[in-house]
Chain A
């Protein structure tokens, strides 16, 4: 038993729903109690889908338990088949139905339905949402994909690939598909099938007609591409093209697989120049903490260090499946990786590190709000804000442009930061007003945080009880603009404790400042 306050991932059947909802012509019959239907709203509200997810819940109740939940399942399955006329059906159980052991897969297979029935075994008490999506898609591919030479499955004459991994409710999947398709089209490659997103069971059958697979999201597509590599002889790309360097690596990898020229149009790529231009000087060495799913967190770490000039002070992911590569990367950055799905642990970690910026999920955005640290969102779990109306990919060159804007937005602009240093005691132009391009910082506005009023002033809360800030030093610390105050406090206290100084004076503050000057 483990106490959980917030979760980064849902249960595995929600992962299966993401696959089913992304696809077309597929129906999911889920043995589950009524409450589990909440998951529909993730798709209709967060992603603003205009159709209900293609999922029939059996919604059994307590009174059914003693009698016949199995029959209830068969009825629901038959009715779904009759009403929705799917090309294929996936069948499974949610956490509660797993306990009553009705074997929905076996029952559905014996109903004599005229379409493929794919049973899912998703262990709800061990695994989570990403596993559920990955395993579901793998089972669908394994059942439906036909070998080369089967009827209507012949290698395409020109070079094509499949885009593998995008699902419903995925972080920017919609736009990544478009960006990567156009990148590949520049190289002379067209897309055979995108799956699961948008694919029908008939299209899954034709996966083998492509020349290779692009694994866009290892979290949800890796088992399937590995199987296809083995069974359909399809090589797949290992580089996830998020960021400028990664996109170029990806292009080279594709060139290697296909023998085509690694030449693409870079005229729309702006990140490198934006990063080099002088307004970005203020980004130099910003201490960032990075957390998300493994793929997005690792991509962000590379961009942060190599393309934005940040200092990565923490790196972690919530999905254990990606622990190994993430650990390796953290090691190469000289960091201890944080691999946990415990929200409170992440919060504690951030509090201790006191970074100047967080690159995280919606959960870290809230942590940042509480601690007064700017945060940009780089990964699922998703929120309605992560489905913007505008084109907003993460992958490819346009993705790099989007990432530059997204990461800079929470920060104070370069010139503005400069002016704040100059005029920090000005009655109008002071740091309490916050970045000028953000609303909501009107004078006198107080944030209402009834449950945690104590953390509103982290600037003068010492890290340890042994260190005391003298009044003058504390006053001086308050004069330091808010976006560097945390760092100044931390540096000063570290400096003091390393030297056994228990009372921090103005002198200590400036000695520390000189010590850490760079």
Chain B
């Protein structure tokens, strides 16, 4: 046990595990990316399993003809790669002739396409030439042998970075897909501070107007964007490290780091943030009462675990028992780790059976986990929160702080109000 309060998770040793991982693959990111990028189509080159995953993970199917699909590999495609490329061209042609609304086509690699070494970058190059200028074709991997869940978005954004126009202008780029309403709130906070040269990657429509260069500063709204971070550094851009904008404190710290980089006067920063900060504080305090002194155990899922543990411990009075995350990308999450008091086990990777043993032994007041584990843990009397909801719900910035805090007490409250004993 660390005796000093100054000790944080930032310098704590990490438990690294390798065993069965109970996580989604990166293809799952397509579920929200295709809603965000409204002129894009995501064509997975994979197997029936990939198609089945997308359909199952979407849960409620988006039953207008969706802007994603799977080109399912068949026996003949496995036999000859040349044929596979021809087949792919044929399917793409058929798709684009039917869907003139598509301006960006993403060829998404999967486990099988990678194992047979089907080179999608070559295909993307070939198809871009063929369909320029009306459609731009880009490839990235969402395969489960390379990526976990949200890393699909990371790969997608990183794949777009080399295609961005070069610019030497001083500007702010914000990376990470956010719901439109949240993105608007963010832009309005930034423009209130006089920062108006702001680009968001990914953009709702094709990214031609986004540029990057040595005078570009960038900040991330999602912790899982490690590859995008590296790709932007390679383009000469500079990262503004900060805690992630969850809750009142996280949002303020995030904005403060940007304000510092853009020399925003202290008073102006105060003027812009004071009211929403106070609102967020108030909203959080209402939801957080039920969380005070409760313990929380995170299974690895979306990489949001570290920033959310920071939010729950620092702003909601919870105690973290274990913070499991699929992957720790220090340049992005170090500021959050530094704000979490030492104590919890920080684990990277997974051996799900061992981790379940720990979770059942610890019996935290709230266990945050994936859908495959939630009901079995509930059946053992644990209270769980589905991690996937944290990815799909608008939870960033001041105005969503109360909603974010509200997600956690709900399962606890439900367990308290259900009374199924027979009446006396």
Q: Is A35 an interface residue (CB 8 A)?
A: yes
A126 and B145 contact, CB distance less than 8 A: no
User: Which residues of chain B come closer than 8 Å to A5, judged between CB atoms?
Assistant: 65-66, 69
**Looking at the complex, which one of A41, A56, A96 makes contact with B20 (CB distance below 8 Å)?**
A56
**Looking at the complex, which one of B27, B71, B78, B370 makes contact with A41 (CB distance below 8 Å)?**
B370
**Looking at the complex, which one of A2, A13, A344 makes contact with B65 (CB distance below 8 Å)?**
A344
A126 and B55 contact, CB distance less than 8 A: no
User: Which residues of chain B come closer than 8 Å to A58, judged between CB atoms?
Assistant: 20
B111 and A95 contact, CB distance less than 8 A: yes
**Looking at the complex, which one of A1, A4, A96 makes contact with B88 (CB distance below 8 Å)?**
A1
Q: Type the 1/0 row for A37-54, where 1 means its CB is closer than 8 Å to any CB of B.
A: 111111011001111100
**Looking at the complex, which one of A35, A59, A65, A452 makes contact with B115 (CB distance below 8 Å)?**
A65
Q: Is A351 an interface residue (CB 8 A)?
A: no
Q: Type the 1/0 row for B92-124, where 1 means its CB is closer than 8 Å to any CB of A.
A: 001100000000000000011011100000000
Which size class do B's interface residues fall under? 35 or more
Q: Is B184 an interface residue (CB 8 A)?
A: no
A11 and B75 contact, CB distance less than 8 A: no
A1 and B71 contact, CB distance less than 8 A: yes
**Looking at the complex, which one of B22, B49, B112 makes contact with A40 (CB distance below 8 Å)?**
B22
Complex alpha-carbon distance, A57 and B353, angstroms = 11
User: Which residues of chain A come closer than 8 Å to B372, judged between CB atoms?
Assistant: 37-38, 40-41, 44-45, 52
Interface residues of B in 19-55 (CB under 8 A from A): 19-28, 43, 45, 47-49, 51-53, 55
User: Which residues of chain B come closer than 8 Å to A2, judged between CB atoms?
Assistant: 71-72, 74, 91
Complex alpha-carbon distance, A2 and B45, angstroms = 10
Complex alpha-carbon distance, A27 and B351, angstroms = 18
Q: Is B245 an interface residue (CB 8 A)?
A: no
B94 and A3 contact, CB distance less than 8 A: yes
User: Which residues of chain B come closer than 8 Å to A124, judged between CB atoms?
Assistant: 47-49
Number of interface residues of A (CB under 8 A): 60
Q: Is B87 an interface residue (CB 8 A)?
A: yes
Contacts A2-B72, A370-B63 given; indicate if A62 touches B114 (C-beta within 8 A): yes
Contacts A1-B74, A37-B21, A125-B74 given; indicate if A11 touches B49 (C-beta within 8 A): yes
B144 and A33 contact, CB distance less than 8 A: yes
The smallest beta-carbon distance between A4 and chain B, in angstroms, is 5
Q: Type the 1/0 row for B336-377, where 1 means its CB is closer than 8 Å to any CB of A.
A: 000000000000000001000000000000000011111110
Complex alpha-carbon distance, A452 and B95, angstroms = 17
A11 and B69 contact, CB distance less than 8 A: no
B21 and A10 contact, CB distance less than 8 A: no
B24 and A38 contact, CB distance less than 8 A: yes
A95 and B49 contact, CB distance less than 8 A: yes
User: Which residues of chain A come closer than 8 Å to B353, judged between CB atoms?
Assistant: 79, 83
Complex alpha-carbon distance, A419 and B216, angstroms = 68
Interface residues of A in 337-380 (CB under 8 A from B): 344, 363, 366-367, 369-370
B379 and A4 contact, CB distance less than 8 A: no
Complex alpha-carbon distance, A350 and B176, angstroms = 40
B114 and A14 contact, CB distance less than 8 A: no
A33 and B64 contact, CB distance less than 8 A: no
Q: Which residue of B lies closest to A341 (CB)?
A: B48
User: Which residues of chain B come closer than 8 Å to A60, judged between CB atoms?
Assistant: 145
Contacts A34-B23, A125-B74 given; indicate if A51 touches B379 (C-beta within 8 A): yes
A366 and B22 contact, CB distance less than 8 A: no
Q: Could you list some 23 contacts between A and B, CB below 8 A?
A: A1-B45, A3-B91, A9-B48, A11-B48, A33-B111, A33-B143, A33-B145, A34-B145, A35-B28, A35-B143, A38-B28, A41-B370, A44-B373, A45-B371, A45-B372, A52-B373, A62-B145, A79-B353, A94-B49, A96-B47, A125-B47, A125-B73, A344-B65
